[in-house]
């Protein structure tokens, strides 16, 4: 059954901060920062972040489309996570079919099969970009951190069709010891192609009115060896892609990393404390589905720590950028983002 978090009667149904039915950890980044600072320094209604919206209700979808006017959705999940989401949807559909059989003696003709993309939320007029932030380059980085025995064991399992078992070993032997901060640093260092593609999209300047943006839906292109992100930057439309919703599975770490890079571009008006305050908001926001998330996290060989927001995440990522690349702008130049694009992202965020 899909998770449901019905609105409480005490909630102001006209408030922009009211919860969704089935989308958690959702917020307007500009509004979050402005509220913490007590003054308006960033545009609101431009950049949103959330956990996966796979189970969005029809009311949720209407709100995203008709109230927030989301024009672009950037999904940062890996192919493994998409497969897990598809399996989950198929399991739900099978359970629904069994219930229908029990409740009716009539012949059941409902098609409850789930296609490989059925878990993805499609919003009218919005572009969907699938960019696996932890793609092949990131996976290679993790593989090289294994000892030789586990390195060859993982390769053998993956080649034999036992990819989930291979992922569990990498999770236990590398990802868990590295921790979320270490993995964030590894993502920056290895996922350069994906970062470039992301900032090509983010550099599509928001219009003066953040509630009128629209764009034609596109089907993400695929790359068989998955060595490049599924979005081709040369195919991105020249007009504004905003308002943009960025999400991964929890909407916490990969999403938080991209949001942090954006906020560091406006660090002259957004202090590090405000960036950290936005990041740590995710931990209590995710409590509603912690049991379900833990089942998925354990399949990856990870511990409960991966449901939390580690202290020092923002400061350590910022330090890594400064020591390795001379700061966020140096990093973005390194991955291939032009100064003009950096300027457009910055001006698009500033109030």
Per-residue pLDDT of the chain (351 residues; tens, 9 = 90+): 444 444 444 556 667 778 999 999 999 999 999 999 999 999 999 999 999 999 999 999 999 999 999 999 999 998 878 887 777 777 766 666 666 666 665 544 445 455 567 788 889 999 999 999 999 999 999 999 999 999 999 999 999 999 889 989 999 999 999 999 999 999 999 999 999 999 999 998 654 333 333 333 343 333 434 444 444 333 334 467 999 999 999 999 999 999 999 999 999 999 999 999 999 999 999 887 877 777 777 877 787 788 889 989 999 999 999 999 999 999 999 999 999 999 999 999 999
β-partners of residue 72 are: 127, 244
- How far is 22 from 198, CA to CA, in rounded Å? 26
| Four-CA torsion 112, 115, 117, 121, nearest 10 degrees | -20
- pLDDT tens for each residue of 207-217: 433 333 333 33
- pLDDT tens for each residue of 4-24: 444 444 556 667 778 999 999
Q: For residue 205, how far is the Cα from the chain centroid?
A: 21
- How far is 74 from 207, CA to CA, in rounded Å? 19
| Four-CA torsion 321, 276, 310, 312, nearest 10 degrees | 50
- How far is 220 from 79, CA to CA, in rounded Å? 13
Task: Name the residue ranges covered by the structural domains of the chain.
Answer: 27-99+113-349
- How far is 131 from 158, CA to CA, in rounded Å? 22
**Residue whose C-alpha is closest to residue 256's, from 188, 302, 204, 331:** 188
Query: Could you tell me if 282 and 32 are in contact, meaning their C-beta atoms sit under 8 angstroms apart?
Result: no
Give the predicted TM-score (pTM) of the model: 0.81
**Residue whose C-alpha is closest to residue 329's, from 314, 319, 339:** 339
| Four-CA torsion 200, 203, 206, 211, nearest 10 degrees | 30
* Positive or negative: CA dihedral 151, 293, 68, 83: positive
At the second CATH level, the architecture of 27-99+113-349 is Alpha-Beta Complex (3.90)
Cα–Cα distances in angstroms (integers) from residue 129 to residues 57, 156, 235, 346, in the given order? 21, 32, 11, 21
DSSP 18-67: PPPSS--S-EEHHHHHHHHHTS--B-SSSEEEES--TT--HHHHHIIIII
**Residue whose C-alpha is closest to residue 190's, from 338, 331, 307, 342:** 331
- How far is 124 from 157, CA to CA, in rounded Å? 41
* 3-state SS assignment for residue 111: coil
């Amino acid at each position: 059954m899909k998770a449901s978090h019905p609105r409480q009667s005490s909630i102001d149904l006209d408030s922009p901060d009211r919860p969704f039915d089935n989308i958690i950890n959702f917020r307007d980044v500009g509004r979050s920062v402005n509220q913490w600072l007590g003054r308006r320094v960033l545009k609101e209604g431009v950049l949103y972040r959330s956990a996966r919206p796979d189970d969005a209700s029809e009311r949720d979808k209407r709100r995203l489309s008709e109230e927030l006017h989301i024009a672009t959705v950037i999904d940062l999940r890996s192919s493994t996570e998409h497969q897990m989401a598809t399996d989950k949807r198929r399991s739900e559909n099978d359970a629904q079919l069994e219930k229908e059989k029990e409740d009716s003696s009539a012949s059941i003709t409902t098609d409850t099969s789930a296609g490989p993309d059925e878990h993805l939320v499609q919003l009218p007029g919005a572009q969907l970009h699938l960019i696996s932030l932890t793609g092949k380059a990131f996976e290679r980085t993790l593989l090289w951190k294994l000892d030789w025995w586990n390195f060859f064991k993982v390769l053998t399992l993956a080649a034999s069709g036992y990819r989930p078992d291979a992922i569990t070993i990498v999770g236990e032997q590398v990802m868990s010891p590295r921790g979320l901060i270490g993995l964030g640093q590894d993502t920056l260092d290895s996922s350069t192609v994906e970062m470039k593609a992301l900032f090509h999209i983010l550099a599509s300047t928001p219009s003066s009115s953040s509630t009128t943006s629209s764009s034609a839906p596109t089907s993400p292109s695929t790359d068989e060896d998955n060595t490049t992100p599924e979005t081709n930057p040369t195919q991105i439309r020249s007009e504004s892609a905003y308002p943009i919703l960025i999400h991964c599975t929890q909407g916490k770490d990969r999403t938080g990393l991209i949001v942090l890079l954006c906020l560091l571009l406006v660090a002259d008006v957004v202090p590090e404390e405000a960036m950290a305050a936005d990041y740590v908001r995710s931990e209590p926001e995710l409590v509603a589905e912690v049991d379900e998330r833990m089942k998925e996290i354990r399949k990856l060989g990870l511990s409960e720590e991966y449901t939390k927001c580690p202290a020092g995440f923002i400061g350590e990522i910022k330090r890594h950028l400064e020591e390795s690349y001379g700061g966020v702008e140096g990093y973005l130049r390194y991955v291939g983002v032009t100064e003009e694009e950096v300027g457009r992202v910055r001006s698009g965020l500033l109030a």
